[in-house]
Amino acid sequence: MKKMFPRLGRWLGLVLLLVFSFAYRPDYFEISKQLDIYASVFKEVSLYYVDDTDPGELTQEAINSMLAGLDPYTNYIPEEAVEDFKIRRTGNYGGIGASVGNLNGDPVITSIYEGFGAEKGGLKVGDIIRAVDGKSVAEYSEEELSEILKGAPGTGCEVKVERAGKQIDLKVLREEVHLNAVPYAGLVKDGYGYIYLNAFTQNASGEVLKAWQELKAKGPLKGLILDLRNNPGGLLNEAIALTNLFIPKDKPVVLTKGKLEEWQRTYKTPKQAFDKNIPVAVLINSSSASASEIVAGTIQDYDRGIIVGRRSFGKGLVQESRMLPYGAQLKVTIAKYYTPSGRLIQAIDYAERDEDGSVAKIPDSLRSEFRTQNGRLVLDGGGIDPDVQTPSEKASDLILALFQQFHIFDYATDYYRQNPSITSATEFKVDEAIFQDFKSWLQERDFNFDTRTGRLLERLEESAQTDGYSDALELEIAALRQAYESQKMTEIEKQKEVIMELLQEEIVARYYFDSGRLANALGHDKDIATALEYLEDSTKYQKILKP
């Protein structure tokens, strides 16, 4: 009998544990029921459907359809895509160190990372890839070609490229490629540093710290510009570590709230700040998201620096990677995050959908008010609003066409092939002679672009034909068309300053890579100029932080 009581106690404890566990968990019977239904449907279709089916495709479609009703950040990652997912998280991969794009149906080298196999092996931006290891790549997609060029460090590949009409065979060695989270840091002016962070990958905060230390080594810093524009985010722990460079120890950075208790957590700064006094300006725009918004929001909530630019994206959701069978993964949203003032900056409520399944942004009228440490008013529900708003420069139809048709890209490539060297990245300027040469070059390529006015004119012509007015309005429409085409050609002169800046950056990138492009842009970047204006004027700077 005595031996039975311990055994009975263990069973009773297990039953109580299960009872209490199920009280706080989803309806497992319903989950099991739906899984059983899905498995049965899948089996019946696979066995009896009139045509052949691909089990893998059916499963992936079913999973993607299921996740489509949730937020866009909850994604299924099949085994073959896991490596690319890891690259985005870590910034590391095995490959030649180059990016490939599609130019008029041809696979073209669009960028080369400094110091890796592609550069060492002689590949150039603008090279058209014709074959890899003797096999034509004409029918390969960009993704397929990218996979071929990746591989174990130390392995080589033979790449046949076409350059300026000539076929060239090159041997390229694959290496462990690290994509720097900080591709450029420098001084925008004596005493004022600039650091550009493009992603929150592993050790992103360490790269920022190193760049900051190197700037300090050049002389005392009076102010720092941290550029988070177009930064989509990344690892939460790196956002906390980066914030900690500015914010003292034991200060809340972000609060997460999820379904499970383990996701109800407040993250605090774990160390002493690297510098808690230097004036700081953080640059953001509509493509600054997630971890970028955590950093910007925390610095704003503690009045540690000013935020300059445009309203950020508004992603207040936290994802976690869950391992699945056979090497696949699920990136699932597990929680929402809140800044130290209590703001949820998520701009879209994916739980609330219209009848057509669409979702809308939270209107400004429904955004709640919060206060920073100094009592400044800040709002939730729509990203981070900058303290200093700068104009949003929308690309014109002309500029979009120059980019989409690769004219800026191709001219820079031609210029590079004809000019062995240029001045330093910061000193090089596109002058009037280069601009006029570019205009002549465009005419030879029969450049044309569409505009809103042009599209309306086409609709007018179509409507006149449909209504039977074509003959009566023929002269008037022809005169409109002639006036429009004449006016359209003046657009290049109107956009001269922007075109010259874009050409300048693209040409510099051929000689000095992306770091050179960024260095050159410092001289004409309006957001940086605005940030510098406030950092140099302590009265204006403090007026924002202590109104």
Query: Helix (H) and strand (E) counts for the chain?
Result: 18, 21
Please pick, among 127, 301, 380, 525, the residue that the annotation labels catalytic. 301
Other Cβ atoms within 10 Å of 358 Cβ, number: 7
Residue 273, phi then psi, degrees to nearest 5: -65, 145
Rounded Cα–Cα distance for residues 181 and 295 (Å): 15
CA–CA separation, 490 vs 250, rounded Å? 59
Q: Is residue 43 annotated as a catalytic residue, yes or no?
A: no
| Residue 52 identity | D
How many other C-beta atoms are found inside a 10 Å radius of the C-beta of residue 496? 13
The residue from 124, 315, 385, 387 that is catalytic is 315
Paired tokens of 62 = 């079913």
Question: Cβ-count burial of 260 within 10 angstroms (0-12 exposed, 13-18 middle, 19+ buried)?
Answer: exposed
**b/e 133-152 (16+ beta carbons within 10 angstroms → b):** eeeebeebeeeebbebbbee
φ, ψ of residue 287 to 5 degrees: the values are -100, 10
Does residue 301 have an active-site annotation? yes
86 is catalytic: no
Tell me, letter by letter, the H, E, C secondary structure of 366-412. HCCEEECCCCCEEECCCCCCCCEECCCCCCCHHHHHHHHCCHHHHHH
Amino acid present at 28: Y
Q: Collect all residues with Cβ–Cβ distance below 8 Å to 390 and sequence separation of at least 6.
A: 308, 309, 310, 526, 527, 530
User: Which of 127, 160, 288, 290 is the catalytic position?
Assistant: 290
Residues forming beta bridges with residue 98, ordered by sequence position: 112
Q: Which two tokens stand for residue 69?
A: 């009703």
Q: Report the catalytic residues.
A: 290, 301, 315
